Structure 1
Amino acid sequence: MKERRQTFEQNLRKTGLELEIEDKMNSEDGRTYFVKIHAPWEVLVTYAEVLGIKMPIKLSDIPRPKNSPLSYMLGPVKLPLSVKYPKPEYFTAQFSRHRQELFLIEDEATFFPSSTRNRIVYYILSRCPFGEEEGKKKIGIERLLNTNTYLSAYPLHDGQYWRPSKTSRINERYVLCKNWARFSYFYKEQPFDLIRNYYGEKIGIYFVFLGYYTEMLLFAALVGLACFIYGLLSMESNQTSTEICDPNIGGKMIMCPLCDEVCDYWRLNTTCLHSKFSHLFDNESTVFFAIFMGIWVTLFLEFWKQRQARLEYEWDLVDFEEEQQQLQLRPEFEAMCKHKKMNPVTQEMEPHMPLCHRIPWYFVSGTTVTFGMALLLSSMVSIIVYRLSVFAIFASFMESEATLQSVKRFFTPQLATSLSGSCLNCIVILILNFFYEKISAWITKMEIPRTHQEYESSLTLKMFLFQFVNYYSSCFYVAFFKGKFVGYPGRYTYMFNLWRNEECGPPGCLIELTTQLTIIMIGKQIFGNIHEACQPLIFNWWRRRRTRTHSEKLYSRWEQDHDLQVYGHRGLFYEYLETVMQFGFVTLFVASFPLAPLFALMNNIMGIRVDAWKLTTQYRRPVAAKAHSIGVWQDILYGMAILSVATNAFIVSFTSDIIPRLVYFYAYSKNSTEPLSGYINNSLSVFLIADFPNHTAPMEKKDFVTCRYRDYRYPPDHEGKYGHNMQFWHVLAAKMTFIIVMEHIVFLFKFLLAWMIPDVPKDVSEKIKREKLMTVKIIHDFELNKLKENLDVEYGNIMKNVSVNNKSLKAKTSV
């Protein structure tokens, strides 16, 4: 290892980098060597040209967007202009060291942003050789880190985050901490340009996306809150819950037992409070909000395209191509390959793994993924079995008349089962999520991806699939399966021939879906924020506990950074994944929970500051990288947006009770003054207690002749005894019609909005054209002036030679 380090450091010096090695005796622990790397001006300008970095050539004559009248009302939200725009706008061009006079170089120390400097140094580190094996050079700091030749490699922070720099140079870390990473600034806008200058475009664009998503959530949250308030105000006047709570209507309806043998008959009015709570989320505004969110998600994605295009112009990413480090071969791939193949692009021999050698690894990976998905589904089935098992216990516990008058008024067996099952499901989800993060990374390594880009794409797909099934499977069960395959008294359907399938209460299953979604979504967010805030704080305290006996002078800045947490290559990956999963909760099931955007908004407002605080104070500074978009996550968001239209349409049709009420309102109501009067009686079928099989009838005999259950079936005295009546088919036809109509309306709006809203705003395209025109003109004028200067110099030299020749000629003549 020592030879590798010496060779590597010697080759780094050959590239022009300056190295300074701190002796281990000077380190705080007395065991660690620190190699400090400095890139002088000549190295920076050379590699800035190699990487095609754009630098300023002239102040831009394109004015910044003017403040609208609304912006003056948002004064407290705004940041100072010196923080929001740390540098003026410039026309830029790709840097060339032979044209240095063209660029606005006032101070060589500050000409290149700190993110650009650390990106250039890391570019050199990732390509510097440290040895040779079988005629092929071994290159890159990553391979040295994988073999523990070096412990870590990281760029230094600008200085301490709690105080400004003592020199005249601005401490960007301190400015970010003061204006961005403070929780008391949760209402302030973010300094995106400063984030980009300090952390690079890849991290910068994530915070732009998160900030934009949070701003758009504000509109969805306001509409969702309005729908919730409407449900709250109309709860007491709701005809359905009024009939359920009425002692003369709901109090006289004897309902069939909720489970076999141990459960007793019960009265409908015992679900009074449950039906009122259900109306909060299952009312007329549900349909409106489902359609609104279908249009909102389209506007969100289309306007994000425009925001992204504007960002590409502002951050000089218009002509950006993927960095070569993303296409660089992974060390693991090179180590496993024994074959070589000509690369048609580079025309060089490089490691190659034939397909026949990859197939076994793909098979193992596919088997593991399939097994993991099966395990996730089995965990969901286990939760369902739990719900079916405890349902009978809750139902039997709440069966006595005394219990009906106390506990059951607040907790129905369905609600008690849903609450306990949802809490258990949330715990299981968080545990499985921890293991599947490790499994996904392990599986992806087994596939031996060729490049870092392939590795990230493969990992993204697996993690998204795992988390999609893990977080949403229980919600899909409650929304689309629970209560749909119950049967009817005397002919119930059973799971594994052991447990009777769950049925929905008289108000429907929507309130149970709301409960499930609320517990999982809020539980995930609370756990995620606590984990993100506490984990780095505790680990950093544990690593720095030794320094309490030493002064800050002895505890050098590079050692302070070394004791911070490592952000890692997948730091942003987990941030995007968390945001995308939240987006799923907000869009896929939002018809059942209009407050979901509000909870997501509050979480993101706090989450932005948590992420900023972590990056600025608790993590080592990540290596800067460029990116012009959010990458594959944008395709995932588009897929979820399309799926959300279908899921919300099905929730309104099959989980909500709105469609059966509308069918009754228009086709079966006989009361013109109160059209929904009698709906509850109409929606409950009659069963003859004498028809109960012995193994399902309650053990304690009652004097009741009939009981009621939720379905549309003929009564026992009808010739079509217990068969579906005509109203069942009318309701089913209305549900299917609503799904088709809603999907077509929303998709029509989506396509129209996508067609009407251009991907690149007109003013941005004009600015891009203007900058390209001015850049060409400036470079042309520069080259023309340079050519004139060269001609003048050459002409002057010629005239000097002519003058000298004339003098010598005169001298000869005089002689």
Structure 2
Amino acid sequence: MSRSGQMEHETLIEMSATTDGEDANGPFFETNSNVDSDNPGISEIDKHHQSKDSVFFRDGLRRIDFVLSYTDDPNKETDKKKAERRKEFESNLIKTGLELETEDKKESESGKIYFIKIHAPWDVLSTYAEVLGIKVPIKENDIDPPRENPLDCLLKPFKLPNHVMYPEPDYFTAAFSKQKQELFLINDQDTFFSPATRNRIVYYILSRCPYGTEEGKKKFGIKRLQNNGTYTSAYPLHDCQYWKKAKEELCHNERFTLYTQWAKFARFYKEQPLDLIRKYYGEKIGIYFAWLGYYTEMLFYAAVVGFFCFLYGWITMDDNLSSKEICSPDIGGQIIMCPLCDKTCEFWKLNTTCEPSRYSHMFDNVATLFFAIFMGIWVTLFLEFWKRRQARLEYEWDLVDFEEEQQQLQLRPEYEVKCTQKRKNPVTQEIEMVMRRSAVNFFGKLFLCWMSIVFWISLIIASMIAVIVYRLAVYAAFASIMENNDALRPVSSLLTPQLATSVTASCLNFIIIMILNFLYERVAIWITDMEIPRTHLEYENRLTMKMFLFQFVNYYSSCFYVAFFKGKFVGYPAEYTYMFNVWRNEECDPAGCLIELTTQLTIVMAGKQIWGNIQEAIVPYVLNWWGSRKARNNPEDLYSRWEQDYDLQTFGPLGLFYEYLEMVIQFGFITLFVASFPLAPLLALLNNILEIRVDSWKLTTQFRRPIASKAHSIGVWQEILNGMAVLSVVTNAFIVAFTSDMIPRLVYFYAYTENMDSRMSGYINSSLSFFDVVDFSNNSMPIENEMNITTCRYRDYRYPPDHGRKYLHTMQYWHILAAKMAFIIIMEHVVFLVKFFVAWLIPDVPSEVKARIKREKYLTQKILHEYELCKWQEKLREKSNCAEAARQVFASKGKVQLSAAM
């Protein structure tokens, strides 16, 4: 909203406040005729026979656009102050033009709650529609629709009926003007503005209506009144029950349509009715479901390719020569490996890791490299095509110029109440109120905010170190138990010490992640509130960056540890590396660390999705069941519509923030570490199919109707997705190079093979170095050596003990390291070049949309020009008619005077 619009709103409030209600009953401001003396302006019309499920006033004509509720106890001093605030607040609402109707607490189901119903008449709606720059139909769209796709007949089972997909005709629109109402297609003033637009306008008034002064400063806003307990809730109403249509003819029953056609899980294969979602919930929620649906659609292609890559690994699992050598009694059974831990662990045979080595091949094969490159291109296509889809929605939903004109200039009430200084706006050149920020106060708050963020990130790192210490300590215990316990030996072929440690540590890490998320969520909101951002957009952006930075470290730190640190700083048996000089660093399995990264990723990703669905579906359902348990005794005898919605959960202003955050974290899992787990997109696809229906079900059945708000895009999340797309190329290149065993195998295949008939034969023996047990330090030497082992093997490329360069790295190690670095550079440059070429090739806005935008602007200007020209011509005609009449009067007077003179 422009600053001039805000000034107009403030002027309306001040003008109405100075009249004391006397001039408010003119042609613009209307109040109810029957007023209660104790509550001025609150209608006390006698009740008519009316359905309890009605969404209208008692007269059955005026729609309820908003509801306020409160409880009181006249004997308490605090409640007397609240009653005074309510009295002044409601009086100012009436002066603004809103109409109020009260429901006594005796009429409520609990007998404790008052309900104030609010209706916005046409004059209020038309005035604030102009203030907010709301676009309304001006002419029916005359552009020919695109040609039908011949393949549409194949997609018919996935389509919804046209009346559901397109609840309104397609119009050209223009910003509403109260002085030019005849320009717009107004068939019925009661239905011209949709219920979503009506509740948005009413909430705008509620959030800026004053209710008193303190120390010379105005106090205003429904949010502050809710925070201090004056009102218990404020919400718009659903238009009907979700499981049946309303009896009233004027009700559109859009909630029922959304439930039956969209929210039911049986409709999971159907397209989403985005226009109806936008019409009922507003553009901000509509754009979220559009993005989520498109993301899920694109995941289908990634899931198919990932599944075939996994299938290739599964089919070729038994043909993998490396795992055959590990499992062979003649090769793996004869290789004695060095102990897995100090003192308590014994020497072990390589073939005990047979099964993990076989399963590791499913994720560590040639298809892994192909899939990593494919996902680098896929993520670019997804982001670029989403920009095109978003541009189309911006045009269809009248959001093309929304952000610049309204969202960035619409001040938060929390900021406005702190404004004490005046300043000329460099853009509008108008005087505006700004908040005074002293240097000490500003830098003090900034320091406190960032110190809090650093503290919590440090806490995450500390918790990750604690999990690593757990892994190191438990690893030795698992290794000792599995080696010395005969009862566990049949299981040890599947559950190795590495795998057992990885699974338990991943579960522990997931629990810590959930606890830290719960705590930091409240800290991040507190920090952002303390900063007092200027606009709603700034508030959401600041909170988004804080929460994403925290959750990025919280969720991905353990995966980064397994992918890039575990097994890389082990040392060798003569000089093991220790953490804090106590715990020996972990080693990777002889088949590599990739299987452990896959385990970590699966547990954290799947656990997060399961826990998220429990929070989103089961928790609201249980809370609503408990809150409305009285009404369940007789479901036919429904309590009133406003009481039914009062018992539902609140979908707050940050409701969508958590939905986006959940999906963006998932996006990170399937892009940053997808080289280790090709099935990640498939798991994400299955989750998102469920997520769409869970979100739609809870929004339609378990939550109050959200206050409609506009948004022209997914906002700052777009930049976060772009950043993660670039980072994913780097992380996957490093995973393939350093975490998987692909590069060492390729180097051996092309440079070190000796058997040309079977070129991978002998790779396992080549990847293991020799160690003389005499060189063990006192801390590392096993207590028992029942097999009298003199030489053991370990995973590294070092010279044997009888070589002149004893235990130093071999040339094969340096060749492999050079190959890894070359692979990273080549893969990154190839994928980045393809990404930038694809991004350049695909325009952000389709040419068809550009043509439509130009056509609409042209028609709007033409209509406005013709309207002004017509008005000017009418004025000229009126002037000419007046002049002609004056001449006739003058002529008649002249004749009379002439005759009198004669």
So what's the TM-score if we normalise by structure 2? Answer: 0.87
Note if 1:745 corresponds to 2:830. Answer: yes
In the alignment, which residue of structure 2 is the partner of 1:725?
810
Percentage identity across aligned positions?
64
Q: In the aligned structure 1, how far is the partner of 2:146 from the partner of 2:511? A: 48
In the alignment, which residue of structure 2 is the partner of 1:700?
784
Note if 1:518 corresponds to 2:599. Answer: no
Q: Which amino acid letter does the alignment assign opposite residue 601 of structure 2?
A: L
* 1:127-151 Cα distance to aligned partner (Å, 9 max, x none): 2222233444322222222222211
In the alignment, which residue of structure 2 is the partner of 1:67?
148
Q: Which consecutive unaligned segments of at least 5 residues does structure 2 have?
A: 1-81
Q: In the aligned structure 1, how far is the partner of 2:845 from the partner of 2:872? A: 38
CA 1:446–1:58: 2 relative to 1, 3 Å: closer
* 1:661-708 Cα distance to aligned partner (Å, 9 max, x none): 000011001122221111111111111122222331222222322111
Note if 1:417 corresponds to 2:498. Answer: no
Residue 782 of structure 1 deviates from its aligned partner by 3.1
Q: In the aligned structure 1, how far is the partner of 2:579 from the partner of 2:735? A: 23
In the alignment, which residue of structure 2 is the partner of 1:258?
340
CA 1:403–1:44: 2 relative to 1, 3 Å: same
In the alignment, which residue of structure 2 is the partner of 1:52?
133
Q: In the aligned structure 2, how far is the partner of 1:795 from the partner of 1:180? A: 61
Q: Which moved more, 1:256-265 or 1:700-709?
A: 700-709
Q: In the aligned structure 1, how far is the partner of 2:371 from the partner of 2:772? A: 41
Q: Which moved more, 1:478-487 or 1:618-627?
A: 618-627
In the alignment, which residue of structure 1 is the partner of 2:108?
27
1:280 match: secondary structure? coil
Q: Which amino acid letter does the alignment assign opposite residue 763 of structure 1?
A: E
1:93 match: secondary structure? strand
Q: In the aligned structure 1, how far is the partner of 2:748 from the partner of 2:460? A: 40
Q: How does 1:153-164 map to 2 (within 5 A)?
A: 153-164=234-245
Q: In the aligned structure 1, how far is the partner of 2:579 from the partner of 2:487? A: 29
Q: 1:13 aligns with which of 78, 94, 101?
A: 94
* 1:376-396 Cα distance to aligned partner (Å, 9 max, x none): 111111111111111111111
CA 1:781–1:412: 2 relative to 1, 3 Å: same
Residue pair 2:85, 2:211 contacting (<8 A) in 1 also: yes
Q: In the aligned structure 1, how far is the partner of 2:375 from the partner of 2:566? A: 24
2:263 match: secondary structure? coil
Residue pair 1:239, 1:677 contacting (<8 A) in 2 also: yes
Residue pair 1:565, 1:619 contacting (<8 A) in 2 also: yes
Q: In the aligned structure 1, how far is the partner of 2:632 from the partner of 2:369? A: 61
Q: In the aligned structure 1, how far is the partner of 2:373 from the partner of 2:600? A: 22
Residue pair 1:338, 1:353 contacting (<8 A) in 2 also: no
Q: 1:399 aligns with which of 483, 486, 489?
A: 483
Q: 2:452 aligns with which of 352, 355, 368?
A: 368
CA 1:403–1:322: 2 relative to 1, 3 Å: farther
Q: In the aligned structure 1, how far is the partner of 2:485 from the partner of 2:775? A: 25
Q: In the aligned structure 2, how far is the partner of 1:325 from the partner of 1:46? A: 19
Q: In the aligned structure 1, how far is the partner of 2:515 from the partner of 2:400? A: 43
In the alignment, which residue of structure 2 is the partner of 1:176?
258
Q: In the aligned structure 2, how far is the partner of 1:685 from the partner of 1:553? A: 80
2:361 match: secondary structure? helix
Q: Which moved more, 1:490-499 or 1:126-135?
A: 126-135
In the alignment, which residue of structure 2 is the partner of 1:244?
326
Residue 547 of structure 1 deviates from its aligned partner by 3.0
CA 1:403–1:657: 2 relative to 1, 3 Å: farther
Q: In the aligned structure 2, how far is the partner of 1:488 from the partner of 1:741? A: 31
Residue 355 of structure 1 deviates from its aligned partner by 2.4
Residue 44 of structure 1 deviates from its aligned partner by 1.1
Residue pair 2:125, 2:201 contacting (<8 A) in 1 also: yes
Q: Which amino acid letter does the alignment assign opposite residue 490 of structure 1?
A: A
* 1:287-332 Cα distance to aligned partner (Å, 9 max, x none): 1111111111111111111111111111111111357577555555
Q: Which moved more, 1:19-28 or 1:273-282?
A: 19-28
1:153 match: secondary structure? strand
Q: 1:304 aligns with which of 367, 374, 386?
A: 386
Q: How does 1:468-507 map to 2 (within 5 A)?
A: 468-507=552-591
In the alignment, which residue of structure 1 is the partner of 2:756?
672
Residue pair 2:483, 2:489 contacting (<8 A) in 1 also: no
Q: Which moved more, 1:651-660 or 1:796-805?
A: 796-805
1:709 match: secondary structure? strand
Residue pair 1:160, 1:173 contacting (<8 A) in 2 also: yes
Q: Which consecutive unaligned segments of at least 5 residues does structure 1 have?
A: none
Residue pair 2:342, 2:780 contacting (<8 A) in 1 also: yes
In the alignment, which residue of structure 2 is the partner of 1:683?
767
CA 1:315–1:73: 2 relative to 1, 3 Å: same
Q: In the aligned structure 1, how far is the partner of 2:862 from the partner of 2:410? A: 36
Q: In the aligned structure 1, how far is the partner of 2:506 from the partner of 2:538? A: 37
Q: In the aligned structure 2, how far is the partner of 1:100 from the partner of 1:593? A: 60
In the alignment, which residue of structure 2 is the partner of 1:210?
292
Residue pair 2:130, 2:176 contacting (<8 A) in 1 also: yes
In the alignment, which residue of structure 1 is the partner of 2:722?
638
Q: Which moved more, 1:368-377 or 1:598-607?
A: 368-377
* 1:154-203 Cα distance to aligned partner (Å, 9 max, x none): 11111211112323342111111111111111111111111111111111
CA 1:808–1:302: 2 relative to 1, 3 Å: same
So what's the TM-score if we normalise by structure 1? Answer: 0.96
Note if 1:187 corresponds to 2:187. Answer: no
In the alignment, which residue of structure 2 is the partner of 1:759?
844
In the alignment, which residue of structure 2 is the partner of 1:105?
186
CA 1:54–1:690: 2 relative to 1, 3 Å: same
Residue pair 1:327, 1:453 contacting (<8 A) in 2 also: no
Q: In the aligned structure 2, how far is the partner of 1:96 from the partner of 1:720? A: 87
In the alignment, which residue of structure 2 is the partner of 1:284?
366
Q: In the aligned structure 1, how far is the partner of 2:606 from the partner of 2:633? A: 42
Q: In the aligned structure 1, how far is the partner of 2:218 from the partner of 2:515? A: 44
In the alignment, which residue of structure 2 is the partner of 1:353?
437
Q: In the aligned structure 1, how far is the partner of 2:84 from the partner of 2:409? A: 29
Residue pair 2:419, 2:434 contacting (<8 A) in 1 also: no
Note if 1:385 corresponds to 2:469. Answer: yes
Note if 1:137 corresponds to 2:238. Answer: no
Q: Which moved more, 1:40-49 or 1:222-231?
A: 40-49
In the alignment, which residue of structure 2 is the partner of 1:582?
666
Q: In the aligned structure 2, how far is the partner of 1:54 from the partner of 1:682? A: 72
CA 1:340–1:152: 2 relative to 1, 3 Å: same
In the alignment, which residue of structure 2 is the partner of 1:314?
396
Q: In the aligned structure 1, how far is the partner of 2:821 from the partner of 2:339? A: 31
Q: Which moved more, 1:474-483 or 1:631-640?
A: 631-640
Q: In the aligned structure 2, how far is the partner of 1:479 from the partner of 1:548? A: 53
* 1:748-780 Cα distance to aligned partner (Å, 9 max, x none): 111111111111111111111111112222222
Residue pair 1:28, 1:554 contacting (<8 A) in 2 also: no
CA RMSD in angstroms, aligned pairs only: 2.2
**Bigger relative contact order, structure 1 or 2, given CA contacts below 8 A and separation 6+?**
1
Q: In the aligned structure 2, how far is the partner of 1:103 from the partner of 1:361? A: 49
Q: In the aligned structure 2, how far is the partner of 1:596 from the partner of 1:160? A: 38
Q: In the aligned structure 1, how far is the partner of 2:218 from the partner of 2:776? A: 82
Note if 1:3 corresponds to 2:84. Answer: yes
Residue 98 of structure 1 deviates from its aligned partner by 1.7
1:180 match: secondary structure? helix
Q: In the aligned structure 2, how far is the partner of 1:540 from the partner of 1:200? A: 24
Q: In the aligned structure 1, how far is the partner of 2:589 from the partner of 2:789? A: 21
Residue pair 2:420, 2:433 contacting (<8 A) in 1 also: no
Q: In the aligned structure 1, how far is the partner of 2:470 from the partner of 2:223? A: 48
In the alignment, which residue of structure 2 is the partner of 1:79?
160
Q: In the aligned structure 2, how far is the partner of 1:312 from the partner of 1:324? A: 15
Q: Which moved more, 1:380-389 or 1:435-444?
A: 435-444
Note if 1:535 corresponds to 2:619. Answer: yes
In the alignment, which residue of structure 2 is the partner of 1:273?
355
